[in-house]
Chains A and B, each alone.
Chain A
Amino acid sequence: MNASATKLRFEGVAKEFLRRGKPLPVLTAVDLEVKSGEFVCLLGPSGCGKSTLLNVAGGFERPSAGRVLIDGEPVERPSPKRIFVFQEYGIFPWASVWDNVCLGLRHLPAAELASRAQATIDLVGLKGFERSYPMELSGGMKQRVEVARALAVEPDVLFMDEPFGALDSLTRLTMRSELIRLWQQKRPTVLFVTHDVEESLQLAERIVVLSPRPGRIAGILELPFEHPRDPSDPRLAPLRRQLFAWLGVHP
C-alpha cells in the first residue's frame, strides 16, 4: 500500500439534528483528507461536532450533506475493516477478555484464531487476564481490552472517540504512549477525537481544530516530530499557543 495514498476523504460533510422540531446544525461543510497510516487528532470543545464527524466516518450516522470516502468508496455502513473505539467501554461485560478479543476473529479457523487472539492480548499487556471479565478490571485495562479487540482484526482505520477520557490522568499518560507504540507497530490510519490540547500535541502527526458549534475546520497543524514526545519540548510551545488561539482560549 502506498503510504502517502489518501485513505479518508471528507467532502463537504455537514450534519443537522432536530432539536424540539428545529434543525440544529452541528457540522458545516468539512473538507479534509487523511493519508494512509496517518495519525490525525480532531481537537475541539465539547459540542463542536467532532464526535458526530467521527460517527459519520464510521458509518453510524448519515451526513445531511456531503460524503465521506474511504479508499475512494463512499461510507455506507460500519465495517470490520474500520473499528471504532468508544469512551464508554464498547467491550461486552458479559464476555471474558478472551471472548471479547475474539469477537472480530470468529470466522477464522480455531488454531489461527487462538494464536491471533493470544498475540493481540500479549501485545496490549493483558497476558494472564484472558479469563477475567471486564468488571474485574480497572478502567485502563478495560480500555486495553477494547484496543486489543480492535487491533485483533488488523483494521485499516481506527476511529477513537475520546478513548481515554474516562481514565485517571496517570493511566491516560501510559495509555497514550502505549497507543503510539501499537500504532508504530501496526500503522493503521488513526482518527482520534479529543478536547485535550496536550493529548493532541503528544499523539498527532496532524491536528485538525474544529470551531464551536456548528463545527467547521478552524485550522490544521502539522507536527513533524518523532515519538515519544516531551511535552516541554520548546518546538511544541508555539504550536500550543496556536491551538489555544484557534480554540479561542487564553490560558
Chain B
Amino acid sequence: MSPLSLLLCLAGLLGLALGYGREQRLRAVAMPLALTLLLLGLWQGLCDLIDFGSWHWPWQAEPETAGRPPRRSLPSPRETVAALGELIANGRIWGDTVASLFRVTWGYLLATFVAIPLGLFAGWSTRTFEALNPLIQGLRPISPIAWIPIAILWFGIGDRAGIFLIFLASFFPIAVGSMAAVRSISTVHQRSALNFGLSGADLFRRVVLPAALPQIITSLRIALGVAWLVIVAAEMVGMDSGLGYLINDARNAGSRYDLVVATMGVIGAIGILLDFLIRQLEHFDEVRWGYSKR
C-alpha cells in the first residue's frame, strides 16, 4: 500500500463521515465526491498490492515475465493522471477532443433542425404519423454503429462520415420524442385551445410548441448522450482522429493502457459537461412545469 492510496481512502472515509449528517445541498456534493476519493484510493491500493499481469493461482506455473517489464492489467490512478498530463503536455488531447466535439456538434445540430420540425408535424398530423411512424420505429433499433460501413462508403474516412453517424444517432430520439410530445398534449388543453378559437400559427405558437417543449428537451438530452456514446465507437472503428481513435491508437502503438484509461476519463468528464449544459434548458419558466412532480 502506498501513502497515496492510504491518503485517498482516508480522505474519502472522512468525507463520507463528515458529509453524512449535513443538509441535503451539501450532502449532494460532498457524498459522491468522498465516495469517488475512496474508490480511487482502493483502486490505487489494489494496483500497489497486486501485480495483475503476473498474478496466478498457487498451483499454476509462474507466468513468463522475464525479459519485459512487469505489466499490470490496470493502470493505477497515479499512472492515469501522469498519462493525462502527458496527453495535455504534448497537445494530443486537444486535437482529438476538438475533432470529436466538432462531429457531435454538427451531426447533433443538423438532427435537431430536421427532427424537431418533422416530429412536431408528424405528431400533429395523424395521417403523417400513420405513414411515418412505422418507418421510424423500424429504422430506430438499427444501431448507428451498424451504419459505419455505409457511412464510410458514402463519405470516406473523416469528419463527414462522423457527422452523418451522429446525425443518425441523434435524429431518432429527437424525432420520436417530439412526435410523442405532441401526441400526448392533454385533452383539456386541446379543448381550451379549440374553445378560444386558436388555429394555425397561433395554435402552434401558443399551445402545440410550448406543450411539447419539456418532452422535446428531454429527448434532446437523451440524444446528446447517445451521440457522445456513438462518436467514440465510430472513431474507434472508422476514423483517424478523435477521442475514440486516441483510445485505439494508444493500445495499438505500444499497449499504453494508461493513455487508454486517461482518455476514458476525459470522455466521461466531457459527457458530464455536455449533459450539464443541455440540462440548463430545463430551467426556463416556460418548461419547468413539465418536470415537476404532480
Please list the residues of chain A having a beta carbon within 8 angstroms of any beta carbon in chain B.
58, 60, 77-80, 82-84, 86, 88-96, 103-104, 106, 133-135, 153
Q: A80-B197, A83-B195, A88-B188 are in contact. Are A106 and B202 (CB under 8 A)?
A: yes
Q: Are B191 and A93 in contact (CB under 8 A)?
A: no
- 1/0 per position for B281-292, CB-CB distance to A under 8 A? 000011111101
**Quick one: closest B residue to A58, CB to CB?**
B195
A84 to B188, CA, bound (A): 10
Return chain A residues, CB-CB under 8 Å to B210.
Answer: 92, 94-95
Q: A133-B289, A134-B289 are in contact. Are A92 and B189 (CB under 8 A)?
A: yes
Return chain B residues, CB-CB under 8 Å to A89.
Answer: 188
- Output the least CB separation between A162 and chain B (Å): 13
**Quick one: closest A residue to B291, CB to CB?**
A135
A153 to B290, CA, bound (A): 28
A91 to B211, CA, bound (A): 12
B207 at the interface (CB under 8 A from A): yes
Identify whether the interface residues of B are mostly helix, strand, loop, or mixed.
helix
Q: Are B191 and A84 in contact (CB under 8 A)?
A: yes
Q: A80-B197, A90-B188 are in contact. Are A135 and B202 (CB under 8 A)?
A: no
A-B contact count (CB 8 A): 64
B194 at the interface (CB under 8 A from A): yes
Interface size band for B: 20 to 34
A197 to B119, CA, bound (A): 47
Within 8 A of A (CB), among B173-211: 186, 188-189, 191-192, 194-198, 202, 206-207, 210-211
Q: A92-B207, A94-B211, A135-B288 are in contact. Are A153 and B188 (CB under 8 A)?
A: no
B84 at the interface (CB under 8 A from A): no
A94 to B189, CA, bound (A): 11
- Output the least CB separation between B204 and chain A (Å): 13
Return chain A residues, CB-CB under 8 Å to B289.
Answer: 93-94, 133-135
Q: Are A80 and B188 in contact (CB under 8 A)?
A: no
Q: A94-B289, A103-B206 are in contact. Are A60 and B194 (CB under 8 A)?
A: yes
A78 to B190, CA, bound (A): 12
Return chain B residues, CB-CB under 8 Å to A153.
Answer: 196
Return chain A residues, CB-CB under 8 Å to B285.
Answer: 96, 133
Q: Are B292 and A60 in contact (CB under 8 A)?
A: no
- Output the least CB separation between A99 and chain B (Å): 8
Q: A92-B207, A95-B210, A103-B206 are in contact. Are A84 and B288 (CB under 8 A)?
A: no
A106 to B189, CA, bound (A): 17
From B192, B210, B286, residue with most partner A Cβ within 10 Å: B192
Return chain A residues, CB-CB under 8 Å to B195.
Answer: 58, 78-80, 82-84
Q: Are B188 and A86 in contact (CB under 8 A)?
A: yes
From B210, B213, B287, residue with most partner A Cβ within 10 Å: B210
Contact sample, A vs B, 8 pairs, CB 8 Å cutoff: A58-B195, A78-B197, A79-B195, A93-B289, A95-B210, A103-B196, A133-B285, A133-B289
Return chain A residues, CB-CB under 8 Å to B192.
Answer: 84, 86, 90-92, 103
- Output the least CB separation between B186 and chain A (Å): 8
